Amino acid sequence: MRFVLFVAFRYLRDARGQTALILAAVSVGVAVIVFLSALINGLQSSLIDKTLGSQSHITLRVPRETPRPLVDATPERAIARQVQVAPERLRSIDQWPAVVASLARLEGVTAVSPMVTGAGTAVRGEAKRPITVRGIEPELFRRIIDVPRRMVAGRFDPGGGSVAIGSVLAADLGVGLGDTVRIVTAEGVSDVVRISGVFSLGNMGVDKTWVLTSLRHAQSLFALAGGVTGLELKVGDVFEADAVADEAQRRTGLAAESWMRVNAELLVGLSAQSSSKTMIQFFVVVAVALGIASVLIVSVVQKSREIGILRAFGTPARRILAIFLTEGAVLGLVGSFFGSALGTLLARFFETVARNPDGGPKFPVVLDVPLYVSASLLATVVGLAAAVAPALRASRLDPATAIGNG
């Protein structure tokens, strides 16, 4: 048994009331941190999941043609620039299979999916609805957006004259599985398709307009034989999407747009939320540190004579220092265990109380190992730091003065 541990634990055990009180305080502090982190992390990841449930991480398209003047200005002749934006016309990406291959090798990219996207109208009897036709390779696309998991009816196997459509669109048109719909595209092509699946991605705009069909079918609907209008990418770390998009744009010359740019406002909101979480945690940490420090200061004052005795009998000052540092670290560590347990209970309780009408939790909490490890580490380091001043004070006690006269 080590002397330092022996004495530190004995002192903690001996001052049972004080130890219990400060442990309670540390536990509550850690519980707040764990609960808050679990809640906010859960909220943020579910918001991001929802956002990314209906859009790709990065989308690459042919850049818009920059309007060019027909004649250039010379020093003698100024021209009033007349800009006529060319009407949007679907254009294919040059050599797209080669571009797909090069993007797939890009660092951080985990999936690439080609698409043909264009506008059109769906017609069913009297009902007419504007739609977005998306031609995709189902096996590649499902790695970008997990449609098969979001089917509300039928299966996700567009192609061969059948399509999957959004649930709101299906309701608007009054169609169900096996029904047929006429699609008329902006290119003037028209075709009749059968509905083999209905999906709900949880995004109104998407569920109201999307018609997913095979790439080949869309190519014929938009008169783009063999072409694609865009490429969609998935990346490993969603927060790296911006950087990967920039790199993809630089390499391919295509216009790349990441989900982060599309959802800039959401990200600003999330980061504001994160900073307020950090603030709260900071103040909790300060309160916990002050609590531990004050208990230890009182303990050092109460025990100054005992410390003097230990010093008089030859205990080196560094061991006295270590005793109080150990007390601080142990208070932090043990408090973090209780606190983690309490925080977990709180989070689970909150999850069961706040429920959506569908029974799912309104506030999903994320309780994971890194959270517990970081909370324990934080509490231990805070305990140690809080003990520094009291421990220094104890180790610098002059034995003669501490023992006193008599």
Partner 1 sequence: MAETPPLLEVVDVVKEYGESVRTAALRGVSLTLHAGEMAALIGPSGSGKSTLLHLIGLLDRPTAGSLRLNGQDPTTLSEPALAALRGRSLGFVFQFHHLLPAFTALENVMLPAFGDEGRLSAETRARATALLTAVGLEEKLHARANQLSGGQKQRVAIARALSRNPPLVLADEPTGNLDTVASHEVFELMRRFHRERGVTFLVVTHDPRIADRCDRVIEIVDGRIARDERR
| Contact residues for ligand ATP, defined by CB under 6 A | 405-406
Residue 312 Cβ vs ligand ATP, minimum distance, rounded to whole Å: 15
Residue 406 Cβ vs ligand ATP, minimum distance, rounded to whole Å: 6
C-alpha pair distances (Å), 165 with each of 40, 132, 195: 34, 10, 7
Among the listed residues 93, 148, 136, the one whose alpha carbon sits nearest the alpha carbon of residue 111? 136
Q: Which residue has the tokens 């977990």?
A: 344
Q: Which stretch binds partner 1 (CB under 8 A): 115-123, 193-201, 308-316, 336-344?
A: 308-316
Q: Which is nearer to partner 1, 26 or 310 (CB)?
A: 310
Does 392 bind partner 1 (CB under 8 A)? Our answer is no
Residue 281 Cβ vs ligand ATP, minimum distance, rounded to whole Å: 46
Considering only residues 65 to 124 of the shown chain, the ones binding partner 1 according to CB under 8 A are: none
Phi-psi region of 87 (alpha: psi -120 to 50; beta: other; left: phi over 0): beta
CA distance 14 to 107: 58
Q: Decide which of partner 1, ligand ATP, none touches 140; Cβ closer than 5 to 8 Å per partner kind.
A: none
Q: Which is nearer to ligand ATP, 75 or 406 (CB)?
A: 406
State the residue number with the nearest CB to ligand ATP. 405
Does 17 bind partner 1 (CB under 8 A)? Our answer is no
- Asked if residue 331 lies in contact with residue 22, where contact means CB atoms within 8 angstroms, the answer is yes
The dihedral sign for the CA sequence 373, 375, 377, 380: negative
Q: Which is nearer to partner 1, 4 or 288 (CB)?
A: 4
Residue 329 Cβ vs partner 1, minimum distance, rounded to whole Å: 18
Considering only residues 310 to 349 of the shown chain, the ones binding partner 1 according to CB under 8 A are: 310-319
CA distance 169 to 173: 6
Contacts of 249 (CB under 8 A, 6+ apart): 60, 255, 256
Does 306 bind partner 1 (CB under 8 A)? Our answer is yes
Q: Decide which of partner 1, ligand ATP, none touches 10; Cβ closer than 5 to 8 Å per partner kind.
A: partner 1
- Asked if residue 193 lies in contact with residue 114, where contact means CB atoms within 8 angstroms, the answer is no
Q: Decide which of ligand ATP, partner 1, none touches 146; Cβ closer than 5 to 8 Å per partner kind.
A: none
Q: Which stretch binds partner 1 (CB under 8 A): 58-66, 79-87, 349-357, 394-402?
A: 394-402
Helical (H) or strand (E) element with 379: helix 369-395
Among the listed residues 371, 377, 352, 379, the one whose alpha carbon sits nearest the alpha carbon of residue 363? 352
Please give the residue ranges that form the binding site for partner 1 (CB under 8 A): 1-4, 6-7, 10-11, 13-14, 305-306, 309-319, 398-400, 403, 405-406
